[in-house]
Amino acid sequence: CLQMRVDMLALVLRASPRRGAHASGASVRLLPGKEPWRRCFSGRSSRRGRTQAIEGEASETTRSAGVATKVATSGASDAAGAPGGPGNVGTAATNGVGPPALFALPLYRKPAFPGFYQIMQVSEQEVLNFLLELRKKGQNDFLGGFMTKEQPGKQMDPDGEPTVPPSPAGDRGAGSASAHAHTQGLRRDAGRVATAAELEEVGTMLRVVSITPYESINGGQVVVMPQKRVRRTQVVSEASPHVPLPFVHVDYLPDPEVIEAQRKDVNALRLEIIATMKELLKTSFLYKEQYEQVIKFYDLEDPAKLADFAAGMSLAKRADLQAVLEENDILTRLNKVLMITKGDLEFARIQSKVKSQVEEKVAKDQKRMMLMEQMKQIKKELGHEKDEKQSLITQFQEAIKDKVLPEEAAKVIESELQRLSTLEPSFSEFNVSRTYLEWLTCLPWGQFDVENKDIAKAEQILNEDHYGLEDVKERILEHMAVSFLKDSVQGKIMCLVGPPGVGKTSIGKSIARSLDRKFYRFSVGGMHDVAELRGHRRTYIGAMPGKLIQALKVLQTSNPVVLIDEIDKLGRDYRGDPSSAFLEILDPEQNGAFRDHYLDVPVDLSGVLFVCTANTTDTIPGPLLDRMEVIRIAGYVYEEKVAIANQYLIPQTADASGVGTDRLHLHEQALSKMISDYAREAGVRHLRQLLEKVSRKVALSLVRKKPASDEETSSDMVAEKTEITVDNLTQYIGQPMHFSEQLYAMGKTPPGVVVGLAWTSMGGATLSVEARGRVPRSWEARGGIGMEDLAPRPDGWGQSSASDSKPGSGGTGGFMKITGQLGNVMSESSAISLTYARVFVRELDPMNMFLDEAHVHLNVPEGATPKDGPSAGVTMCSALVSLALNRPLRPNLAMTGELTLTGKVLKVGGIKEKVIAARREGIKTLILPKHNEADYSELKEYLRAGLTAHFVDHFDDVYRLAFDEEEVGALPFKPRGMPVVSVSTPLAPSFHDSGPRPLSDGSGAPAGEGEAPSLPDGGGGTS
C-alpha cells in the first residue's frame, strides 16, 4: 500500500510542470491521512478486507493525482479537441506549456489505424483491473496504443504449460493470472511490457469506448476508437507492479496533405486500391464481412482514410503495417498500402483455391457414401444382399462345406461363428475373431494331391534334373513304391547332408516334381524365435500362425514337399530354442496332431514330406537328428563333374548369357583343366560360376566385334563360334586357383612325411604329416646312436648340417612339439602315436632309441586352418616310425585310421569323401581300417576305379604295406592283427582316356596296373 502511494505521487510530480514550491507543496498536502495506513497494516483484517483497503487507497491516490494535474494544468484548453475534459489523467490536453501525457497500452498483434472501432482482447487481469479502476473514477478517456517491437511468443513452464512474458518487478500473482488466461485460449491483442523501450515510437491515440471483463476466466474485452497518430517523445514513468502501464509524453502527428503535383498519382493509386479491394471482396468472405460493417462510416474519397481503412483490414505482417502507420507522405503511404492489398489478394486466391479443392473432395466423398448407403438399402429391400456380418458367416460356412474337418476343429469353428454373430462390426474383437476364422477355414482340411505312381516317369525326372545322387533317387523311388503298395499318402522326414554346391536344395524341387506334389521352401538359418514355427498367441497384436500353417494355406494341400533349408544353423536365445520345436514337427509319431499356438487346434502334418538340408550333423541336436533319415551327399569326382558340366551347366550358362551352344565350344581338355585346377571343391557351384564367366566374356567379344567389310553382315558375325581351348582358357577365367595338395612331386615323400586323408564340411582333403627330430649332444657323447649313425637317406633328404645340431638341454628323455593348430582329439592322437611308435621301433630294433631321446617336432601344414578329428593316429605313428628308421614310405600312398595304445586300427568316417580326395590328387594306394571295408564296397565302381585299398586291423600290417621291407627289414614277429584284405579296381576304359592326369604316375602307367604293394609270404592277405 505504501509502495503504491509513493509510485502514484512520483507519477503526479513528474507529469505536472515545475512552478516552484507551491505545486510540490500542494501535491504533498494531498497525501492521505492516517486512517488508510491503519487499514493497510491491520493484522486482524481478512484477506478480502486488505484487498478493499488497497483498492480504496489506490482510488484516493488517483484522485490526488487528478487534483495535482488539474492544478498544474489550470487554464489549459483541449488542443486536440478530444472529449472528456482537460483535467483528467489520461486526457490528451495541453496548455502550451508541456506536451500531453497518456498511458501507453502495448499492442501485440498489429497497430491500430484511425477511423473505426476495434475490439481488443486483454488477457492480463492486472491491466484490465487498472483500466476499470481508471474508468470508474472517470480518468481514462484516452490511451496511447503502441505496437510492441517484438511479438510475444508462447513459452513453456517446467510443468509443460504455456506462459506469457514475465511481469515487471516479479509480480507473481499477476504472472500466474496471465498464464491462466493464456491457457484458456484468449487472443492476446494487448497486455503489458516490462519497459516502454519495447514499444514502437509511433502509435495511435485510442478513446476507450467500453471495457467488459470475462466472468469465468481472467481478462476481458476493450472496445476502442483510434483517433489520430501520435509519437512517443518521453517516458514519464515505467510500468510498476501496481501501475502496469507506462506513462509517456506524446506529440500529435498531423494528417498528410495532398499537394497539387501529386494529385494525379494519388488519385490513380486510390482507384487501384479500390479496384483491388473490390476483387478481394469477391474472393474472401472475411474481407467482405468487415467491409460491409465499416464502409458505411468511411469516406473512400479521402486518400488518407482509404489507406488507413485498407491497412486496418489487412492481415499483412506487423512490420509492414507499422511502416504504413509511420509513413507521413501520402504518396508513399498509398504505395505501401497497395502492395499490402495485392499480397492479401494473392493469399485470398490461394485460400479460395484450397477451399474449393477441399470442398470438392468432401462433396465427392459424401456423394459416394450417400449413394452407397442408398444402394445398400435398395438391395436389402429387394433381398439381393444380406447383412455384412451374415455374409461373412455364410462365406465361412461355404469355405468348410466340402472339407473333412477333425472333430475338435469343427467345434472350434462353430463356436467362433456363434461368437462372431453376437459381435458388432465396430468392436475390435470382431476383427480378431474374423481373422481367426479366416485362417481356420482356409486350411486344406482333408485335401490331398494325387501322387505320381509311375516309377519310370519319376526316375526320368530325377535323372533330368541331377546327375548321380543315386542314394537320394533310390530313396525317393522306394517312398513311391511304399505309397503305391499301401494305396495311401505317406509323409517322411529326410535330411540331406553334404558340402555346399552339391545340389541339396535343388534336389528338393526335383523330388516334388517327380511325386507331382506341391513344393514349399523356407530357411531356418539363424532363426531364434520359436513363434516363426509354432505361431504367436492370439492375445498379441499382429499375431499370425507359423511357417508350416502358412505353407498349407498357400499350397492348399495337406501333402506337400516342404524343404527346411540350413537346419544345422538354427539359433538359440532367450526367445526360445527352435530345435526343440522341430522335435514335434519332424517326429512321425507326433506331427499327426500338431498344434499351432495361433490356431490351437490339431493339424495333421503326417502327409507332409519333409526334406531338410545341412552341411554337417555336428551342430544338429542328437534328439532331432535321431528323428531324421540322414542321406549323405559326399560330392562329385572328376568324372561326375565332367558329365554334369556337359549335360547341364554348359547348356544352361550358354543360354542364360544369350550366347547359345552353337556359338560357344568348350574343348574337353579346357574343361578338364578348369575342373582340376580351378574348381576342386566338392560341389559344382564354383564350376558354374566359371562357366558363366566364360559365357559372359564370349558374349562381350561377340558384341564388340564389328564387320570387317560391307559384305559381312551382323548375322555372319554372330554366327561365328568361339573356341575355348587350354591355351586361351586363362584369358577368360584367369590363372589357376588351385594346385596339387601334395607337397612332393611324383608322390615320393622323404622320411618322416606321410600323406593322410581327412574329412571336412567342404568335402574330403589330403593332409601331409611331417616329423623331424634331433638328438641332444650329451646323448651322442654317451655313445648312443646319433643321426649320422643311421642309414644314409636317399637323394640327400634330411642330411643334417652343423647348424641343425645345436646343443640341447642335456639329460635323457625326449619330448615332442606339435604345431598346425590341432584340436584336442588330434593332440591326444599324437601322444598315443608317439607312445606306440617308441614301443614299435624298440621291437624292430632294440638298439634304436631315437624316439626315446630325440627332440621331435610334429607338424601338419596350413596352420591357419583348424584341424581336429579321430582319424590321424595311423598317419602320425607312420611318420614317427619313418623318422626313427630314417626311411621313406612307398610313393603314391595315403592312409587314414585311429590308433590305440596296443596298435589296433579303429574305424573312421567319411570314407567316400576321402576316396574322392585321393582320386583328385592321383593317389593309387590307400590304407584303410578293417571295419571300413563295407563302406568302401558300397562306393560306385567308377569312384574306386584305379585304386587299390588295403584294409588293416593292426599297425603291423600298416608297417608291412607302407614301407619297403627290403630297405627296413621284415617284422621279427608274426603280424598280430586280422588278415589284410586288399581290393584293387582296374581303371575303366571310359575313364582311362578322359580321367584326370594325376591318376598316372611319371612313367605313364595308369593306376591299378600292378603298382600296388604286395604282401610278403605268410601275410595272410587276400585280394
In the structure grid, which three cell numbers stand for residue 631, read together? Answer: 542321406
SS3 per residue for 621-653: CHHHHHCCEEEECCCCCHHHHHHHHHHHHHHHH
Burial status of residue 745 (CB atoms within 10 A of its CB: 0-12, 13-18, 19 or more): exposed
**Dist CA 225 CA 815 (whole Å):** 114
Closest among 437, 445, 446, 444 to 396, alpha carbons compared: 437
**Dist CA 373 CA 376 (whole Å):** 5
> Pairing mode, if any, of strands 492-497 and 519-523?
unpaired
Residue tagged active-site, from 914, 930, 982, 1000: 914
Beta carbons of 779 and 859 less than 8 angstroms apart: no
In the structure grid, which three cell numbers stand for residue 232, read together? Answer: 512517443
The per-residue b/e assignment along 509-520, b for 16 or more CB within 10 angstroms, e otherwise, is bbbbbbbebbbb
Tally of helices (H runs) and strands (E runs) in the chain: 37, 27
Closest among 883, 1008, 1014 to 960, alpha carbons compared: 1014
SS3 per residue for 706-739: CCCCCCCCHHHHHCCCEEECCCCHHHHHCCCCCC
746: phi then psi, degrees, rounded to nearest 5: 65, 10
Query: Rounded to a whole number, what is the distance in angstroms from the first to the last CA of the chain?
Result: 129
Taking the CB of residue 728, how many other CB atoms lie within 10 A of it?
12
**Dist CA 321 CA 611 (whole Å):** 81
CA dihedral 675, 680, 681, 685 (to 10 degrees): -30
In the structure grid, which three cell numbers stand for residue 539, read together? Answer: 492375445
Taking the CB of residue 70, how many other CB atoms lie within 10 A of it?
16
914 in catalytic set: yes
**Dist CA 144 CA 232 (whole Å):** 9
Residue tagged active-site, from 558, 871, 878, 1000: 871
**Dist CA 510 CA 550 (whole Å):** 22
Beta carbons of 246 and 258 less than 8 angstroms apart: no
Supply the Cα-derived Rg of the chain in whole angstroms: 53
Query: Which stretches does DSSP call E strand in 73-198?
Result: 101-107, 118-122, 142-147, 155-156, 162-163
1006: phi then psi, degrees, rounded to nearest 5: -70, 160
User: Would you list the DSSP string of 663-721?
Assistant: GEEE-HHHHHHHHHHT--SSSSHHHHHHHHHHHHHHHHHHHH---SSSSS-HHHHHTPP
Q: Give the bridge partners for 155, in sequence order.
A: 163
Helices marked H in 386-427: 388-399, 407-422
Beta carbons of 145 and 107 less than 8 angstroms apart: yes
Segment holding 876, helix H or strand E: helix 873-885
Beta carbons of 470 and 940 less than 8 angstroms apart: yes
Q: Which residues contact 396 (CB under 8 A, 6 or more apart)?
A: 413, 417, 437, 438, 441
296 in catalytic set: no
Could you give the strand order of the β-sheet that contains 893-895, starting from the edge strand earlier in sequence? 815-819, 855-859, 763-774, 753-760, 893-895, 925-929, 948-952, 981-984
Annotated catalytic residues are 871, 914
